[in-house]
Amino acid sequence: MGAASVGNVPPEVAERESAGDLAGARSLLEQEARSNDASATASLAVFLDRHHETGRRDALLKWAEFEKDPARRSLALRQAVLTDFMDGKSVELTQDLNAYRAAGGQDFALPPKTAGKPYSTILIPGPLSSFARMAAVTPDVEPEDLLPAFARTVVTNGYQASGNELLQQTEYLKLVIRYLGQARELQGLANANHQIVIPTCDSEQTGNLLKILGYRMRGSCGADISLETVNPTRAFITIDSGFPLSDLERDLRGNHRFELPYAPTPMPVLYDAKYWLAASGKAAEHVDFIETFASDPGLCRLYLGLSHLDHATAEILKAQMPAEKMRIYAAILDFYGSMFQVRNGAAVVPGSPKAWGSLAGASPSSPGPFFEHLLMTDDGWLAGYFDALTRLGDGPTRNYLTDSEHLRRFYEALRGRITSPGPARPVFRATSDLLLLTTSLRMDKDGTPHIPGNLDVWRTLFAKHPHGKYDARLSKSAPGWRSKDDLLEGLFALSRKTADNEPLKVFLALNDIDRDRSKPLSADTAARLIADYRQFGSQYRLFADTPALSEASMLHYLDFCKSTMEIRDTLLRSDVVGSAQAVVEIWNILSGRGAIPVADQDSSFAAVVEAFGRVHAPGDLMGAARTSLDDLFKAAGDTNHGGRQDRLVELLVGQIHSGIEGIPSPGERFVRMFDAQALIPIDYLLAAADHSGKAALDPKAVKNMNDQIERLRENETLHGSLSAEEKNLYGGSYWSARHVALERKFDLETMAKNPDKRESHAVLAALLRDSLVGMVYCYYAPPGSQIMLTNPLFVRSHDFVGLEGAPAYWAATDVSNSGWPASAGGRLYGSLVSVPYVLAQAEQNFMTPRREQALIWSDLVPQMVIGVTIPRWRNVLPTQLRWVSLHIERGKTLIAAAGLDSKLMPDVMDALGRHLAPGEVDRVRLRLLAQDFQGAISQVPPAIFYAISEDPSLAAVSPDVASMEIAALASANRPELTEAAIARAFGTPKPTLTHSYKPALLYVRTFPALMGFSSRILAETWESNNLYYAALADEAGIPAAALDTYVPEWNRSAIENIYAANLEDWPALIRSLNVTASGVLHRTSGVTQQASAEGFRN
Amino acid sequence: MLKLRTHLRSAVVRKTLAFGLPIALILSILATGAWLRAQDRTTFQVRVDMVVLGFTVTDQKGHYVNGLKPADFRVFEDDIQEKVATFAEGSRPPMEVLANGELRPIRKPEGGDQEEIGAGTVDLRNSSTGTNVFVLFDTSNYMYRGFVYASDAIADFIRGLDRTDSVAVYTYSRNLNRAVPLNRDRMTAIQGLRHAVAGDDSALYNSLLLTLRDAAKVPGRKVVIVFSNGPDNASMVAPDDVRAVAEDEGIPIYVISTSEVTRDPISTNIFKRISTNTGGKSYFAKTWQKQVEAFESIREDLGNSYTVTYYPRPNPNEGFRSIRIELTSEGMKKYKIRARPGYRPQRTF
């Protein structure tokens, strides 16, 4: 069938579909299909299938009925079978499977029933919802995931070191254990039907129940009684566990019978309780399982370790090591065991089995002893190394690192001579740098690592260590380095240290600058970048964002950065730095979006920076900004002659007013925030500088300037009533305060009369800086930013100066003063280079979780926010939405096909295994065999559906409607559908992983939780949201042009619906996306008729 | 959420019509807005719709003075005397103030929006009587020890509210949780309160801001009652910026602190300032008994306050407009009036 589309879509149908009129499109298709023409019935079936609308199975069967071409008929029936399997409709599945086989289909059969993992059941006292609240786990997880979720929370939050280095239970765990006791007492009150019954207010049971709950009645039975606390410890647990106290009170008041089901909750336990209690050295008959479990963090980690593994591997390990022994190494198994896998009777290893046998002291051909040795050798370093290398996909990096010689050499460097403490000792993995190094290492065409510059510049860094010694041994050995391997060995050696690993950071930053450059950095430039890293390293993101920048422009920029530090007037320096950074950031936004053509990026960057390099006095800044902005407009092809302010706003966010009712457009949001910050349009300031007075100014400009300055003065009055204590503690930066104070003095009349223009220009320069910086803030602020709308000094308080001895001018952006009532509110300091992330971070606590647990992942949420605020969805095309939607559908149907086709199963599982851990793949396989498709995909991130649909090994197998539609689109060679274009539209920025805010899709395995700020990296490896939103938009028929308004709302909803058990609880994110999709599909259901939310859900 | 906004919008428009603003004037305002947009896409103008002003009058002994009539006082905005449109005392329904100072019931709009709203939820379109009370309860770690007693005191307060009042229960720690939306069903409110989960950090001022934003969307009289022991370790907004929002929206803030006055002087000062400047009150009640008394005092305040509305006369001041209430009778001059000192008109474009 080549690359032809499956159904011919008449132009008017396509038009309605892309305009969001799905009902109209369907109606037209149904009309056509009444003719019983095969092509028309196919078009309708494909349309309904794509939008997961009701009636899609019937439409597929009708297509099959009227289709003359046997191959297409088979395709229609096959699609019906896949649809039945995905929807879990077993009766229809059997019918359609028979029809498909009768039509010649040979590949599908119902999977044989296969036993899953061996679980037994324990009972925990009380209802699940109460336990989940107290244990801080989500009850939304699948039953077998409850105990691992609880185990992870116990490990991370249940214990703290006490003075004598012993672990002490935290208040959290004490409350859980107290709750279990109270729940057991309540269970004792329940009758044989597991119900607590209080027949009347004055019954004996009332007193018994209230005593357990820690309450008593105030007043005698009747309408006026209320319950009040008598035992605060018990009462706290009563409330915190969600006991329906108000229902009890209501029934007591009305003297009604109170009934509450209070049965113990069955909880699946891997293997059986005896196995785990034996590991803990306890006899099963004498202890309560859940309390023993919670009281033994080592046991919790062993449970986590074994539950990560696939069933076969876990059995081998269990047979090899008694539980008591394995518990000793449980932390290593928990952190580094998830990639353990056995295939064809041997352990799967990255590289040569012989080399691994030599390192571990046991051959991978005997997986039990091999894994045992991995766990027991060197306190976890070898296991951590194994884990990092196994996570790598096939390719030159893996080939290089797992080459026998490198394998041993780098391992020895990593392990060092003293192995204790190992990397699994802390609560989070201490191998962040190792994972970063192995994941981010780039290879040259000759299969060797890419070394920015040359070896010599790195040798100099280690040997001469301009900023202080990193490692005495490396400093000594560095002058003798002869090959790239020597440098890599040094980087591996530093990766074991918990201290700041600056050389690795510099190495990875320069690698990322080099990533997309047509010509790699020269040695001289690399040397300069290395030398300047500590002072200006955070700015290198600009170089990585735009590979078209020449080395001369980069060096020129660094010269400019340096030159600003020579401006003696601190206020002027911060105005120059702030203004220049703002215009450069706007240039960066426009370049990243393609508004400035690649060919002009270098020259325009140089021009933008050059203008600010000539500023020596406040008056110069106005001219510099004007020149710089005009260069920017020219580069962006903006030939309008209107005001600079409006032109800039439109370049950044498009038309200010949108036609979508109820949701402010990005332009409206921008303008509101700009005004809320009392900022003055740039044109007015430039005009004021030209005329140095009011006389020649537009009255509108005069009014605006006077109004905004008046608002600043009013704000001073607002904070003027502070008490003496507050004034003493008032947390403001000295220089920011002076900056704002200067602006408050601004007066057009005085300016006109004063012959000395220097003072006027100083104020205008300050105001101009704020307006330019405000542009950047308004652009990146998340929709509905409360800080921007509430604190009118937020932009003006940006502190570029920093603390004495620690200048912030060119440092990464950060937040200060949050949570300090005596302050003027939180503010940002440092340069503007990481404003997108930090603004999102500052706003995250304004999110309102929809569920009980206010557990918003502090590193994930800002990352999710910038995943939308940076790509913006402005230039997304309908074909791109369709492309993503089809790929995600193709990924799902491949998995469904694997469940029905035993020959296909290994290939699909292998493809999944390139992105998921073996235990996760095994889970998919077992669910498919149990004919539970929704269960199989419930924990597969949407990005993985996309990735496997692009997997070359699956390109030619199992053709379905989605794959044929993809082929039809691909055959047109559309530029918007290239890998790069899709990544640009739907990728996510990865500022810590790639040193760039450029959206990208890397499809790396999601990182585990790591120590330190590396949990940001964990968040950056989650790439699914935008792909999910794109597919959702296509399914719900949302026009592409409206997405920059809708997607931020969806994203907020997805964040607020997260109900996660722990940092690595990615399934919680999938669930929250599904809840959001349900809401969107429900709202658009009037348009899409009966589009089924379930159809979209994973 | 979108549905709620629609309700609110229709409530505002209908209320405006009910208060007798000429339709021609409304059309002219709308037309002016359209013209402004066509003229300049980013020029902001101030816009003031109806101003809702609550106040209490107390005698020299601190006793509430009841029974005042519109003729007993005058309202000034920046020294411009305003014409009072409606008047209400305590939880009684507001009355239209006629040109001669007499009162008459407000005409209900005919027909009306037939959209259904959820069972148990207050139909905000008709909530012209009573007070909309937003309770903001600190469930952070700082409240750990007093959590259950506080919950009891709040439950008592909710039970004792006037039946015309509506109540919303919000809780906060690091984030705000809208436990129960504005509602007249006391049982639902108490259920939400009793379902609160103890949290970790405290972002009091962030959460107070979000509560005020919600309250601002509700027509009629509203107050926010904060129950906290003071500390804030996670907010990004400053107390005085939040206070400004309350001033501008005309929402009195009552604070019940479970901390002693002398324990945390910073929080004490802030609590006093944000309550006084918004027309509310602050209480320092460490014990359960004191907390109950504080709530009793707030209930009294609500029951003994006056609420008037007016449409400001033309005023060139686009910044802070001070509000002054004067009692007309000489004999009343020594009485004390508590009201918000003023507001900043909303800016729009």
Interface of B with A in 184-203 (CB under 8 A): 187, 190-191, 193-203
Are A825 and B237 inside 8 Å of each other by CB? yes
Counting residues of chain A whose pLDDT is more than 90, the rounded percentage is 72
**How many other β-carbons are positioned within 10 Å of the β-carbon of residue A526?**
24
Query: Which residue in chain B has the smallest CA separation from A216?
Result: B152
The answer to whether the CB of A213 falls within 8 A of the CB of A238 is yes
3-state secondary structure at position B225 = strand
Does B272 lie at the interface with A, CB-CB under 8 angstroms?
no
Query: Please, which residues have CB within 8 angstroms of residue B316's CB and are 6 or more apart in sequence?
Result: none
Average pLDDT, chain A: 91
Q: Where are the strands (E) in A167-230, listed by range?
A: 167-169, 195-198, 215-218, 226-229
Are B37 and A657 inside 8 Å of each other by CB? yes
Query: B-chain residues within 8 Å CB-CB of A229?
Result: 148-149, 151-152
Query: Which residue in chain B has the smallest CA separation from A712?
Result: B319
The answer to whether the CB of A141 falls within 8 A of the CB of A1061 is yes
State the average pLDDT over residues A400-414: 96
Counting residues of chain A whose pLDDT is more than 70, the rounded percentage is 94
Q: For position B11, what pLDDT does the model report?
A: 28
Each residue of A190-221: pLDDT tens digit?
999 999 999 999 999 999 999 999 999 998 89
Q: How far apart, in whole angstroms, are the C-alpha atoms of residue A189 and residue B250?
A: 51
Q: Which residues of A855-866 are buried (b: 16+ CB within 10 A; e: fewer)?
A: bbbebbbbbbbb
Are A820 and B40 inside 8 Å of each other by CB? no
Q: Which of A239, A250, A719 lies at the smallest CB-CB distance from B151?
A: A239
For residue B54, what are the β-bridge partners? Answer: B307
Looking only at the bridges linking them, the beta strands covering A226-229 and A215-218 are antiparallel
Which of B46, B144, B197 has the highest number of chain A CBs within 10 A, making it the mutation to test binding with A? B197
Return the closest-CA partner of residue A85 out of A959, A905, A935.
Answer: A935
The interface predicted TM-score (ipTM) is 0.92
pLDDT band at residue A382 using 50, 70 and 90 as cut-offs: very high
Tokens at residue A4, please? 């032809």
Are A792 and B239 inside 8 Å of each other by CB? no
The answer to whether the CB of B167 falls within 8 A of the CB of B131 is no
Each residue of A565-610: pLDDT tens digit?
999 999 999 999 999 999 999 999 999 989 999 999 999 999 999 9
The answer to whether the CB of A921 falls within 8 A of the CB of A978 is no
Query: Which residue in chain B has the smallest CA separation from A729?
Result: B266
Query: B-chain residues within 8 Å CB-CB of A671?
Result: 41-42, 349
Q: Which of A714, A821, A842 lies at the smallest CB-CB distance from B320?
A: A714
**CA angle (A125, A130, A135) in 5-degree steps:** 90
Query: Please, which residues have CB within 8 angstroms of residue A119's CB and are 6 or more apart in sequence?
Result: A144, A268, A269, A270, A271
Residue A483 confidence (pLDDT) above 90:
yes
Tokens at residue A570, please? 């601190």
Q: Which of A184-188, A376-380, A737-741, A823-827 has the lowest mean pLDDT?
A: A823-827
Q: For position A875, what pLDDT does the model report?
A: 86
Residue A1012 confidence (pLDDT) above 50:
yes
For residue B174, how far is the Cα from the chain centroid?
Answer: 24
Query: B-chain residues within 8 Å CB-CB of A227?
Result: 152
The answer to whether the CB of A880 falls within 8 A of the CB of A985 is yes
Q: How far apart, in whole angstroms, are the C-alpha atoms of residue B3 and residue A659?
A: 18
Q: Which of A214, A246, A790 lies at the smallest CB-CB distance from B241?
A: A790
- Our CA-based measurement puts residue A50 at a distance from the nearest CA of chain B, in whole angstroms, of 28
Sequential DSSP letters for A666-735: HHHHHHHHHHHTT---HHHHHHHHHH-SSTTS-HHHHHHHHHHHHHHHHHHHHGGG--HHHHHH----HH
Interface of B with A in 133-172 (CB under 8 A): 144-145, 147-149, 151-152, 155-156, 159
Are A824 and B266 inside 8 Å of each other by CB? no
Q: Which residues of A423-453 are buried (b: 16+ CB within 10 A; e: fewer)?
A: bbeeebbbbbbbbbbbbbbebeeeeebbbbb
Does B239 lie at the interface with A, CB-CB under 8 angstroms?
yes
Torsion angle, CA of A613/A618/A619/A621, rounded to 10 degrees?
40
Query: Which residue in chain B has the smallest CA separation from A718?
Result: B240
- Our CA-based measurement puts residue B148 at a distance from the nearest CA of chain A, in whole angstroms, of 6
**The one-letter amino acid at A74:** S
Each residue of A881-892: pLDDT tens digit?
999 999 999 999
Tens digit of pLDDT at every position of chain B (349 positions) = 222 222 222 222 222 323 333 333 323 322 333 323 333 445 555 556 789 999 999 999 999 999 999 999 999 999 999 999 999 998 888 899 998 888 988 765 555 444 443 443 433 334 457 899 999 999 998 888 889 999 999 999 999 999 889 999 999 999 999 999 999 999 999 999 999 888 888 999 999 999 999 999 998 889 999 999 878 989 999 999 999 999 999 999 999 998 776 777 888 889 999 999 999 999 999 888 899 999 999 999 999 999 999 999 999 888 899 999 999 988 888 899 999 999 998 887 7
pLDDT band at residue A1045 using 50, 70 and 90 as cut-offs: confident
Q: How far apart, in whole angstroms, are the C-alpha atoms of residue A860 and residue A1060?
A: 11
Looking only at the bridges linking them, the beta strands covering B282-284 and B253-257 are parallel
The answer to whether the CB of B238 falls within 8 A of the CB of B201 is no
Residue A671 confidence (pLDDT) above 70:
yes
Q: For position B37, what pLDDT does the model report?
A: 33
**CA angle (B333, B339, B344) in 5-degree steps:** 125
Q: How far apart, in whole angstroms, are the C-alpha atoms of residue A46 and residue A75?
A: 11
The answer to whether the CB of A136 falls within 8 A of the CB of A854 is no
Tokens at residue A595, please? 């508004």
pLDDT band at residue A1087 using 50, 70 and 90 as cut-offs: very low
Tokens at residue A577, please? 């730095």
- Give B274: exposed, middle or buried? Use CB within 10 Å, 0-12, 13-18, 19+: buried
Residue A806 confidence (pLDDT) above 90:
no
Each residue of A1057-1066: pLDDT tens digit?
998 877 788 8
Helices (H), strands (E): how many in chain A?
58, 16
The answer to whether the CB of B128 falls within 8 A of the CB of B93 is yes
Q: How far apart, in whole angstroms, are the C-alpha atoms of residue A335 and residue A167?
A: 20
Are B187 and A710 inside 8 Å of each other by CB? no
Q: Which of A683-687, A945-949, B263-267 has the lowest mean pLDDT?
A: B263-267
Q: For position B5, what pLDDT does the model report?
A: 26
Q: For position B108, what pLDDT does the model report?
A: 59
Q: How far apart, in whole angstroms, are the C-alpha atoms of residue A442 and residue A454?
A: 14
Residue A1027 confidence (pLDDT) above 90:
yes
3-state secondary structure at position A342 = strand
Q: Which of A961-965, A1069-1073, B30-34, B234-238 has the lowest mean pLDDT?
A: B30-34
The answer to whether the CB of A693 falls within 8 A of the CB of A748 is yes
Q: How far apart, in whole angstroms, are the C-alpha atoms of residue B22 and residue B36?
A: 21
Cα dihedral A288, A293, A299, A304 sign: positive
pLDDT band at residue A551 using 50, 70 and 90 as cut-offs: very high
Cα dihedral A1018, A1020, A1025, A1031 sign: negative
Q: What are phi and psi of A822, to 5 degrees?
A: -80, 5
Interface of B with A in 285-304 (CB under 8 A): none
Q: Which of B187, B203, B349 lies at the smallest CB-CB distance from A250?
A: B187
Q: What is the 3-state secondary structure (H, E, C) of A744-776?
A: HCCCHHHHHHCCCHHHHHHHHHHHHHHHHHHHH
Are A852 and B197 inside 8 Å of each other by CB? yes
Are B237 and A786 inside 8 Å of each other by CB? yes
3-state secondary structure at position B96 = strand
- Our CA-based measurement puts residue A116 at a distance from the nearest CA of chain B, in whole angstroms, of 37
Q: How far apart, in whole angstroms, are the C-alpha atoms of residue B4 and residue B212?
A: 16
Does B318 lie at the interface with A, CB-CB under 8 angstroms?
yes
Query: Please, which residues have CB within 8 angstroms of residue A49's CB and are 6 or more apart in sequence?
Result: A56, A59, A60, A79, A83, A961
Q: Looking at beta carbons, which pairs linking A1081-1086 to residues 24 or more positions away fall under 8 Å?
A: A1081/A1032, A1081/A1035, A1081/A1036, A1083/B2, A1084/A1036, A1084/A1037, A1084/A1038, A1086/A23
Each residue of A154-179: pLDDT tens digit?
998 899 887 666 789 999 999 999 99
Q: Before A421, cis peptide (omega within 30)?
A: yes
- Our CA-based measurement puts residue B319 at a distance from the nearest CA of chain A, in whole angstroms, of 7
Are A723 and B265 inside 8 Å of each other by CB? yes
Q: For position A804, what pLDDT does the model report?
A: 79
State the average pLDDT over residues A421-435: 86
**How many other β-carbons are positioned within 10 Å of the β-carbon of residue A202?**
12
Helix ranges restricted to H, B67-203: 147-160, 186-194
Are A133 and B198 inside 8 Å of each other by CB? no
- Give B324: exposed, middle or buried? Use CB within 10 Å, 0-12, 13-18, 19+: middle
The answer to whether the CB of B269 falls within 8 A of the CB of A822 is no
- Our CA-based measurement puts residue A243 at a distance from the nearest CA of chain B, in whole angstroms, of 8
Instruction: State the greatest distance between any 2 C-alpha atoms of chain B, in Å, as a whole number.
Output: 61
Q: How far apart, in whole angstroms, are the C-alpha atoms of residue A836 and residue A866?
A: 6
Which of A217, A243, A848 has the highest number of chain B CBs within 10 A, making it the mutation to test binding with B? A848
The answer to whether the CB of A920 falls within 8 A of the CB of A878 is no
Q: For position B113, what pLDDT does the model report?
A: 45
Q: Which of A671, A714, A787 lies at the smallest CB-CB distance from B237?
A: A787
Q: For position A175, what pLDDT does the model report?
A: 95
Q: Which helix (H) or strand (E) holds A857?
A: none
| Residue pointed to by tokens 């329904």 | B93
Q: What are phi and psi of A8, to 5 degrees?
A: -80, 120
Does B46 lie at the interface with A, CB-CB under 8 angstroms?
no
